[in-house]
Amino acid sequence: MKGSDKIIAYVNQFVHLNQEEELEFLSKLSFSTFKKGQFILRKGEINKYQNFILKGCLKTSHIDENGKERVLTFSIENWWSGDLYSFLSEKPTQYFIQALEDTEVLRITKPNLEMVYSKIPQINIMFRILLERAYIAQQERIIGNISESAEEKYLKLIKKYPAFEQRIPLKQLALYLGITPQFLSMVRNKIAHTPNFFK
Partner DNA sequence: CGTCTATTTGAATGTACTCAAAAGCGGTGG
Partner DNA sequence: CCACCGCTTTTGAGTACATTCAAATAGACG
Strand partners, 41: 97
Residues 27-66 within binding reach of its own copies (CB under 8 A):
62, 64
Counting residues that bind its own copies (by CB under 8 A) gives: 25
Whole-angstrom distance, CA of residue 47 vs CA of residue 95: 10
Could you say which of DNA, its own copies, none residue 189 binds, taking C-beta under 5 to 8 angstroms by partner kind?
Answer: DNA
Burial 65-84 (b: 16+ CB within 10 A, else e): eeeeeebbbbbbeeebbbbe
Q: What's the closest the beta carbon of residue 17 comes to its own copies, in angstroms? A: 22
Q: Does residue number 151 form part of the binding site for DNA (CB under 7 A)?
A: yes
Residues 6+ apart with CB under 8 A from 3: 31, 54, 104, 106
Residues 6+ apart with CB under 8 A from 83: 41, 47, 60, 93, 94, 95, 97
- By beta-carbon proximity to DNA, the closer residue of 150 and 158 is 150
Among positions 88, 125, 163, 170, the unique one binding its own copies when judged by CB under 8 A: 88
Whole-angstrom distance, CA of residue 89 vs CA of residue 112: 15
Q: Does residue number 161 form part of the binding site for its own copies (CB under 8 A)?
A: no
Residues 29-48 within binding reach of DNA (CB under 7 A):
36
Options 27-35, 97-105, 172-180, 182-190: segment touching its own copies (CB under 8 A): 172-180
Whole-angstrom distance, CA of residue 66 vs CA of residue 181: 18
Binding site for its own copies (CB under 8 A): 62, 64, 68, 70, 72, 84-85, 88-89, 131-132, 134-136, 138-139, 141-143, 145-147, 176-178
